[in-house]
Structures are given as structure tokens and as C-alpha cells.
Amino acid sequence: MFVGGSVISSVEFHAHMALVIFMSKCPLACRYCHNVELLEDDTEKSFEEIKHEIDSSADFLDAVVISGGEPLVQTDEVIEILTYIRSIGLKTKLDTSGIYPDKLKKILDLDLVDFISLDVKAPFSKYRKITGADIGSEVKKSMDLINSYGVHLEIRTTFVPTLHSKEDIVVIAVEIESDVYTIQQFRNRNVLDPALEKVEVPNPHDLAELAGEIKPHFKGIVKVKSAEFGEQVI
């Protein structure tokens, strides 16, 4: 399996210490992607190596997060890892772009995830502008699918000032259904499109103000995630 690396994190699975495993490969070309090195990374690890990494940290972990890239490019490998995590009693989280609803259903049918973070990158009708592909309808299918299984769902949008308007974020808040909606601060380092390196990083106070504006349009918890303040519930 192609794996780009891992980190220990206290913020990727709310209120839990987690090992985050970054699966390589992704078919999208999101201009603001900050994991560019994972898109075509060919670093391989065996399941036994991943298992050893989990086991060596398990005593102080609550959970394991499978992130990317897009993990569902390697669906069978993700299922193998999630099944093992379940077997040793740790919680599981999957980060996904939602572009593979059929593959996601396979994992949901196996009851392998406690928590999913779904990246909604734009209003569903404007996906081509952000990703280069008109796949908003597939992402909506994934969102509806997750909700139908009752899995805890966080939807996340990275706010890029030159790509998104405030109105776009309001539209997203109206279109989505999830337990949590998180507006993430764009970072202008190590991005796929070099032109975005010149774009100013959004002020976290402005993001908090925007989050406050969308609250009337969204039934769940609204958060802002920034480098300066971490996660804030608005």
C-alpha cells in the first residue's frame, strides 16, 4: 500500500489522542492542496509495517485516523487497516473528499468507522472551479450516505479568499447536513498552485465572523480551525 507518513495528533479526532496515517494518491487537483507531496507519492509500506506502527503507539492512543491524499483510492487497504484498528479496541476516523460514494458505502456496510470528516470544497454546483472536475453530485451522494448510516459527520471547507466568496460559504452551509461544519484557514505554503502562495492567509477573526454569519443557516455545531487558535466552537 502507498503511505506517505503518519503523525500523532490531539486535534484530528475531537477529544482523543490519535495516530494519523496519510495514505498517498488522489485523482483531484485542488489548487490549494497542502499535501501535494502525497498526490503521486510511491512510498510503499506493508500492512505488517502499519500494524507495527499502530501497536507501538496503542498504549497512549484512543483512535486512528486514516487521511490522505484520498484514502479510498486504496479501498481494500483501508478496510484492512480499519478492521485491525477495530479488533484492538481503538476508535476509527476516515478523512475523505467524498468522490467515491460506492467505495465509501462498502466501508459503511462493514461498520468500520466511528467518525468521518468530509471535505466539501465548494458549493456542489461549483466543484469544477476548485477541483478541476465536476464531481459535486458525487460528494453530495457521499454526504447523504454517511447521514443515512448515522455515523458522526464533520464537513470541512478550506476558505481560500481568491477562490471562495463569503456567499459560497453561506450556500455550502445551506446545502449540507452534518453534525459539525468546520471552516478551515487556508495556508499559502506548499500548495499545488504556486499562484496561491501570494494569497494572504485569512485572518482567524474574520473567519470567526464568517462562521457567526452562517450559524443561522446550519443546524449543527460550527467551528473555525486556524493556525493561531486551533479549533474554536463559534
For residues 37-51, give the mean pLDDT.
85
**Residue 224: enclosing H or E segment and its boundaries?**
strand 221-226
pTM: 0.93
Domain carrying residue 88: 3-233
Average pLDDT, the chain: 92
Nearest to 89 by CA among 52, 54, 63: 63
Q: How many domains would you assign to the chain?
A: 1
CATH number for the domain spanning 192: value is: 3.20.20.70
Q: Which pLDDT score, from 0 to 100, does residue 38 have?
A: 66
43 pLDDT more than 80: yes
